[in-house]
């Protein structure tokens, strides 16, 4: 899953990573500071904040060491100590603790810390889709331990993204259609897409990174019995029969199945999940139901994580970070590229 990112960034990433406690099971960099996005120059990229996520087996121990090494990274919450910080991380929002606007090696970075167990849960079940959604898109893998459960969960997450997208797409579509759908999954109900993010964000992520998406998904698409994949033409055809859709629905992550069940099943009936999904598979609006289920997950986690972020970042950093996001959104409005049908999905 390691992908080529910016030229000459390998040493930079290693230097940054070396300044943190090394008990990390997974570390990756992502976002517009790592992968070029449509409408962004090389010079702009080098000024963008670098975003990281670190998965750690023991958050209390990791935060204990990080507070000794990098105490200035934390907001006033550092006064509560590592046990309370870990509790805030694990029990609120999307189980991620972010330190933002941190100066490291002449760059500004943001890093999120999540427990390995919480990450595996999100990858397998889409409990919040917060980190799982980031891993639907190209990332720069910096470190990965020999954790078999984690490796399997990373692959399962990509397969789930493909399956959910199939259910929301027509019978025939292009690679770009699929990648736009996949990249947009985690933004479906995200309140930041209403205020704080460039509305063309999903299209910008995909357009200049088609090859990176192919690296992530080509093997999964070739091996999937539900689709005819023609990579030489960039075209796909998926089974949209009720039987095919039922198979896809049954393969969705558990939390999404539960959200779909809640949307469809009237209170008090308490039917089996399998029975409900069979009904959804035969519904002409099957894709819309799946979309609503995903939106309900991402809306909840984005709001709760956003509220938590105010505390973990501190007031000044929150205002500074939010103002940069609003400026980026305003610049996106000014560009106003002609929308294509794919962008509106």
Sequence-separated (6 or more) residues with CB below 8 Å from residue 275: none
φ, ψ at 259 (rounded to 5°): -65, -40
Minimum mean pLDDT among 71-80, 110-119, 325-334: which range? 325-334
pLDDT, tens digit (0-9, with 9 covering 90-100), for 209-253 = 999 999 999 999 999 999 999 999 999 999 999 999 999 999 999
pLDDT at position 210 is 94
> What residues have CB less than 8 Å from 162, skipping those under 6 apart?
178, 182, 217, 220, 221, 224
Residue 88, burial from CB neighbour count under 10 angstroms (0-12, 13-18, 19+): middle
At 326 the pLDDT is 46
Span of 11-20, 113-122, 190-199, 242-251 with lowest mean pLDDT: 190-199
Reported pTM: 0.86
pLDDT score recorded for residue 269: 77
- pLDDT mean over 169-197: 82
**Rounded Cα gap, residues 109 and 50, in angstroms:** 5
Report pLDDT for 320. 56
pLDDT of residue 232: 92
pLDDT band at 306 (very low <50, low <70, confident <90, very high): confident
Torsion sign (Cα): 274, 170, 124, 229: positive
pLDDT category of residue 189 using cuts at 50, 70 and 90 = low
Q: How far apart are CA 18 and CA 30, in angstroms?
A: 18
Using CB atoms within 10 Å of the CB of residue 188, give its burial: 0 to 12 exposed, 13 to 18 middle, 19+ buried: buried
Residue with tokens 């998904």: 217
Q: Bridge partners of 229?
A: 236
Q: How far is it, in rounded angstroms, from Cα 98 to Cα 80?
A: 16
Strand-by-strand arrangement of the 107-115 sheet = 96-104, 107-115, 50-56, 26-30, 140-144
Per residue in 12-67, pLDDT (tens digit) is: 999 999 999 999 999 999 988 898 776 677 777 878 899 999 999 999 999 999 99
Of 84-88, 97-101, 145-149, 321-325, the one with minimum mean pLDDT is: 321-325
**pLDDT of 304:** 81
């Amino acid at each position: 899953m390691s992908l080529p990112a910016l030229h000459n960034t390998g040493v930079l990433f290693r230097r940054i990573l070396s300044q943190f406690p090394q008990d990390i099971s997974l570390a990756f960099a992502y976002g517009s500071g790592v992968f070029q996005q449509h409408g962004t120059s090389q010079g702009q990229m080098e000024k963008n904040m670098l975003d990281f996520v670190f998965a750690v087996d023991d958050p209390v121990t990791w935060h204990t060491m990080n507070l000794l090494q990098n105490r200035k990274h934390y907001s006033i919450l550092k006064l509560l100590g590592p046990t309370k910080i870990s509790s805030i991380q694990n029990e609120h929002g999307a189980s991620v603790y972010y330190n933002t606007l941190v100066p490291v090696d002449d760059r500004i970075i943001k890093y999120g810390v999540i427990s390995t167990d919480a990450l595996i849960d999100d990858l397998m079940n889409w409990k919040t889709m917060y980190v799982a959604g980031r891993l639907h898109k190209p990332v720069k893998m910096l470190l990965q331990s020999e954790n078999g459960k984690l490796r399997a969960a990373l692959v399962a997450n990509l397969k789930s993204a493909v399956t959910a997208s199939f259910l929301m797409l027509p019978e025939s579509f292009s690679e770009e259609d699929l990648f736009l759908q996949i990249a947009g999954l985690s933004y479906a109900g995200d309140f930041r897409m209403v205020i704080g993010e460039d509305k063309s964000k999903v299209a910008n992520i995909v357009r200049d990174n088609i090859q990176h998406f192919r690296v992530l998904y080509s093997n999964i698409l070739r091996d999937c019995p539900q689709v005819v994949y023609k990579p030489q033409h960039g075209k796909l055809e998926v089974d949209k029969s009720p039987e095919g859709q039922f198979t896809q629905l049954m393969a969705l992550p558990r939390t999404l199945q539960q959200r779909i069940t809640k949307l469809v099943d009237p209170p008090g009936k308490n039917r089996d999940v399998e029975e409900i999904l069979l009904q959804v598979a035969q519904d002409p609006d099957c894709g819309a139901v799946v979309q609503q289920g995903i939106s309900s997950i991402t809306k909840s986690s984005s709001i709760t994580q956003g509220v938590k972020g105010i505390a973990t970042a501190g007031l000044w950093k929150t205002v500074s970070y939010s103002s940069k996001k609003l400026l980026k959104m305003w610049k996106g409005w000014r560009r106003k590229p002609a929308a294509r049908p794919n962008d509106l999905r």
